[in-house]
Amino acid sequence: MIFKPTSLGNSSLTDTVLIKDKKSCKKFGPCGVGEKAIYLNSFYFDRKYYVPFTSVKRIYKRIAMSKGGYTGKGMFATIPYLVVVFEDGKEKQCIFKAEEDVDHLLNYIKKARPDIKLHSEQAEKRLLEKEKKRNAKAAASLSPKAEESIRILEDCTSYLDKNSDLCLEMSASAKIKRSYERRRPAYSWAALFITLLGIGTLIYGIYALITHAGFGIYFLLFGLTAVFFFSGSNVLPTSRKQKRQIEERFERAVNSLKSLTKNYSDFPLPAHYAHPIVCRRMINIILDGRAETIGEALETLKEDLQAINSSVSVEQEEYDEITAIKPIFLIMNYE
């Protein structure tokens, strides 16, 4: 191994075990999950560090969010982080380009290492409180129709949890499709201008290098070139291939869920809404007494999602759920 990852904690793996484990680790963006350790990135290098699972206490997602996410107005963006807490409260935070990579990593950890907690301490307390309230509601008298609806939805949730990768892919492809469709043309043309400016900067940088115009300018010009290219590479108005790839990815995700629900007798939801979060929120709606049947709960859920916009303040867990399923409902026009 040319670049051996560095252990962040007091414990470490032997070189033989480390080489084998990192080589076979499953990669998620800049990080990776092996059998013995989780591999984390530095600012410049992927999987530069590692923490043995024997030292890991919890792994969870943290989001930095700008306004405008539900309206399509402004430059909306989320900055996803993976946080690993280990030993006596030490913490390593890793930035990701794509939130879906964090979700897939956490989903993989959930299956491969069920002993590791996947929420922050604060989130865990809030979830326990919600669970207590839910149990109290479940203990209250419900109509036979409501109890039957909850039983069906709980069975669906268990089934979908076993196939969570397909649900995550549906959510991720819907987010990308929604973002692409809401992108303003002006942004694409601005990106084209920036990219052309980057090409011009690159040409001048080569010229400066040949004519010995100064050592520092090389870093400046080539650094600016990299920034310009990375800023404009994915939003060019001529990127027809990108649009086709987004459409094809979303179509594959929908077809996968259709195949999944066909294998389930009398699946109660449209295939494109087959997501465990959808089922759980519908269960809560029935427990709250806002609906009795599955059809009523789905319509109420649609109303709830339509009422949420950038002016609504929500907790991290609520945000995770909303951003996982609302893009799907938006793309499907709530049908």
* Mean pLDDT of the 46-69 span: 83
For 169-183, how does the pLDDT look when each residue is reduced to its tens digit (9 = 90+)?
Answer: 999 999 888 877 776
Whether residue 70 has pLDDT greater than 50 = no
Q: CB pairs under 8 A, 24+ apart, for 48-51? A: 48/3, 48/5, 48/6, 49/5, 49/6, 49/7, 49/8, 49/92, 50/5, 50/6, 50/7, 50/8, 50/13, 50/18, 50/22, 51/7, 51/8, 51/9, 51/84, 51/86, 51/92
Whether residue 38 has pLDDT greater than 80 = yes
**Residue 63 confidence (pLDDT):** 81
For 103-161, how does the pLDDT look when each residue is reduced to its tens digit (9 = 90+)?
Answer: 999 999 999 999 999 999 998 898 888 888 777 776 667 889 999 999 999 999 999 99
Residue 96 corresponds to which amino acid?
F
Q: What's the token pair of residue 178?
A: 């929604």
**Residue 243 confidence (pLDDT):** 79
User: d(Cα 323, Cα 70) in Å, to the nearest integer?
Assistant: 9
Whether residue 69 has pLDDT greater than 50 = no
* Mean pLDDT of the 225-240 span: 55
**Residue 2 confidence (pLDDT):** 54
73: confidence class by pLDDT, cuts 50, 70, 90: very low
Higher pLDDT, 142 or 248: 248
Given a contact cutoff of 8 angstroms between Cβ atoms, the answer to whether 234 and 315 are in contact is no
Higher pLDDT, 124 or 72: 124
Given a contact cutoff of 8 angstroms between Cβ atoms, the answer to whether 134 and 242 are in contact is no
Whether residue 196 has pLDDT greater than 90 = no
Q: What is the mean pLDDT of the chain?
A: 83
Asked whether the whole model's pTM tops 0.85, one would answer no
93's CB contacts (< 8 A; 6+ apart) are 62, 81, 82, 83, 84
What is the share, in percent, of the chain residues with pLDDT greater than 90? 53
Whether residue 68 has pLDDT greater than 60 = no
Residue-range domain boundaries for the chain: 6-112, 142-182+240-331, 185-232
Whether residue 323 has pLDDT greater than 50 = yes
Give the strand order in the sheet containing 37-40: 6-7, 49-52, 37-40, 31-33, 26-28
**Residue 181 confidence (pLDDT):** 79
Report which DSSP code applies to 26: E
**Residue 224 confidence (pLDDT):** 64
* Mean pLDDT of the 15-36 span: 94
User: d(Cα 301, Cα 297) in Å, to the nearest integer?
Assistant: 6
**Residue 187 confidence (pLDDT):** 60
Given a contact cutoff of 8 angstroms between Cβ atoms, the answer to whether 63 and 99 are in contact is yes
Higher pLDDT, 257 or 335: 257
131's CB contacts (< 8 A; 6+ apart) are none
74: confidence class by pLDDT, cuts 50, 70, 90: very low
Whether residue 195 has pLDDT greater than 80 = no
